[in-house]
């Protein structure tokens, strides 16, 4: 194996550069924080003047080309571009391709070069959309892919080289406000791909009619239900109707005061659901109505290994802004049989960037589990670690729970799952399904925040306890996929179990 150069050895100096007030700024800050947690030194730069040197620079969402003097400061300078290079160089490639009617958009990590988007391509990936996403949703997918490509680069044992671009380049021009013009003589359906790419603040959609110019803002309704299919045969959501006392359907519902609820992509208030063998049609029915309430879907047990349409499922979840996880059992078996590298490559190939690391079924030492958390975090995965045993006879003292949770977080876990089993019979539960509430109190009183934890709560009574104890934005996992509305209504006080908790005081 070739010895990596000195500048590649940890801790490396990594600059994240976003040189304008881009929508990508918060994602760039998150990327810098992730790199820091992985053991490198990261700096978030808002201009080329702030760039340091001696390591790696990622230019993300930049509008100014970096000059030769700037590029000489670092050993590697990389950019991300959303097209099948060399085709589609230039400005706003994602937007232009969506307007052209494409649902599968390539995305590349490449070396910065003197010509815009002309450097060797290190990695190629793709973004898949369903045709209903608005610009903020598309940007969220773009950001996650961008972060994943950067972290993948940093996880390599040695600096990867790129392949020179081949073929005839094409160029997308800079978008102008005029490009958001709608034709009032055409249908909304016929112009929807243009309408869904507009930025309501910077370049809103508009049309001219009867001597005046009118602007349109587009947003998704807060709650959607299964509706109809568009001209491409895809499911399209529509605002639900509710029956009135006369039996007719009305399109307006009363405005109720509800507990605060985080929005996707969430850091808190996560709903981690379990797919225990759904077919595609079943999934599409559930997701068409409930996808706003689902953040992660875990394939139960190690069923991923025998799921013939696994890639199709992962892509379906991704199109609904839901992350796929293959669960802890799949990890434990891979580790136990010495196949961890193969497992990581398989996840990369499937486009899955989340992994659960556990030792609840097989006797993997805590120190080894911790190394696996570091390994996957170093490769750019979002790591969910799990603490607790599935063995109903195994009882750990509260201090051990606290020690293991803190150690996993320090090793790079994004969240730590507190084991409960699918039947709530082990881990944080007693064999009869009752919760060890004193254990939860000790963990939360130790300085560990609820935001860093995912509480397994497969049954309604357990979900209810955590919602009442921690709030509507508690992270809850191991809930059957078919119970998603059960969980969401509990969070919002729309069920008898939590209605008095959230709505005891009548609004004035």
User: For 6-172, CATH number?
Assistant: 3.40.50.170
Which CA distances in Å does 481 have to 51, 221, 296, 459?
A: 46, 23, 10, 12
Label residue 347 exposed, middle or buried (CB < 10 Å: 0-12, 13-18, 19+). buried
Q: Are 162 and 142 in contact (CB under 8 A)?
A: no
Structure confidence at residue 232 (pLDDT)? 43
pTM: 0.54
Low-confidence ranges of the chain (pLDDT < 70): 1-2, 222-252, 508
How far apart, in whole angstroms, are the C-alpha atoms of residue 351 and residue 204?
33
Which residue, 361, 355, 365, 460, is CA-closest to 404? 365
Structure confidence at residue 244 (pLDDT)? 38
All structural domains of the chain with their residue ranges: 6-172, 177-216, 271-503
φ/ψ of 308, rounded to 5, equals -70, -30
User: For 271-503, CATH number?
Assistant: 3.20.20.70
Q: For Cα atoms 190, 191, 194, give the angle at the middle one, nearest 5 degrees.
A: 145
Structure confidence at residue 202 (pLDDT)? 73
- DSSP bridge pairs for 88: none
Structure confidence at residue 283 (pLDDT)? 92
DSSP state of 63: S
* Structure tokens, 437: 């509430």
Q: For Cα atoms 50, 53, 58, give the angle at the middle one, nearest 5 degrees.
A: 75
Contacts of 77 (CB under 8 A, 6+ apart): 56, 57, 59, 66, 71, 111, 112
Which residue, 162, 105, 155, is CA-closest to 129? 105
């Amino acid at each position: 194996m070739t010895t990596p150069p000195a500048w590649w050895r940890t801790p490396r100096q990594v600059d994240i550069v976003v040189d304008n007030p881009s929508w990508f700024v918060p994602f760039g800050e998150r990327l810098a924080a992730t790199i820091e947690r992985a053991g490198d030194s990261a700096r978030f730069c808002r201009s080329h003047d702030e760039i340091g040197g001696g390591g790696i620079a990622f230019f993300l969402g930049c509008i100014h080309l970096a000059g030769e003097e700037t590029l000489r400061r670092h050993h590697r300078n990389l950019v991300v571009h959303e097209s099948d290079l060399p085709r589609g160089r230039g400005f706003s490639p994602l937007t232009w391709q969506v307007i052209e009617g494409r649902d599968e958009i390539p995305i590349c990590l490449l070396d910065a070069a003197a010509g815009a988007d002309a450097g060797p391509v290190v990695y190629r990936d793709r973004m898949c959309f369903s045709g209903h996403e608005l610009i903020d949703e598309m940007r969220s997918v773009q950001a996650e892919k961008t972060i994943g490509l950067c972290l993948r680069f940093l996880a390599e044992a040695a600096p990867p080289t790129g392949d020179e671009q081949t073929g005839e380049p094409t160029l997308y021009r800079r978008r102008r406000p005029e490009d958001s013009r709608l034709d009032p003589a055409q249908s909304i359906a016929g112009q929807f791909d243009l309408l869904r790419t507009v930025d309501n603040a910077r370049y809103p959609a508009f049309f001219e009619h009867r001597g005046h110019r009118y602007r349109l803002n587009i947003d998704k309704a807060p709650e959607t239900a299964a509706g109809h299919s568009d001209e491409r045969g895809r499911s399209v959501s529509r605002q639900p109707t509710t029956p009135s006392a006369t039996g007719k359907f009305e399109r307006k519902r009363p405005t109720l005061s509800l507990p605060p609820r985080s929005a996707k992509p969430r850091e808190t208030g996560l709903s981690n659901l379990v797919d225990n063998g759904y077919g595609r049609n079943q999934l599409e029915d559930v997701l068409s109505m409930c996808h706003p309430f689902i953040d992660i879907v875990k394939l139960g047990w190690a069923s991923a290994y025998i799921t013939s349409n696994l890639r199709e499922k992962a892509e379906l979840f991704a199109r609904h802004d839901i992350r796929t996880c293959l669960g802890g059992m799949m990890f434990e078996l891979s580790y136990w049989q010495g196949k961890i590298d193969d497992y990581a490559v398989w996840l990369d190939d499937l486009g899955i960037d989340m992994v659960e690391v556990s030792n609840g079924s097989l006797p993997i030492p805590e120190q080894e589990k911790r190394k696996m958390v570091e390994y996957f975090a170093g490769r750019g995965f979002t790591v969910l670690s799990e603490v607790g045993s599935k063995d109903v006879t195994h009882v750990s003292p509260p201090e051990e729970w606290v020690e293991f949770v803190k150690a996993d977080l320090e090793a790079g876990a994004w969240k730590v799952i507190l084991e409960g089993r699918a039947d709530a019979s082990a881990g944080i539960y007693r064999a009869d399904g009752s919760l060890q509430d004193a254990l939860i109190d000790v963990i939360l009183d130790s300085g560990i925040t609820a935001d860093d934890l995912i509480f397994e709560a497969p049954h309604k009574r357990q979900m209810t306890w955590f919602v009442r104890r921690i709030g509507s934005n508690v992270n809850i996992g191991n809930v059957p996929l078919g119970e998603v509305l059960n969980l969401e209504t509990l969070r919002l006080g729309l069920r008898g179990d939590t209605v008095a908790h959230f709505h005891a005081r009548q609004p004035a």
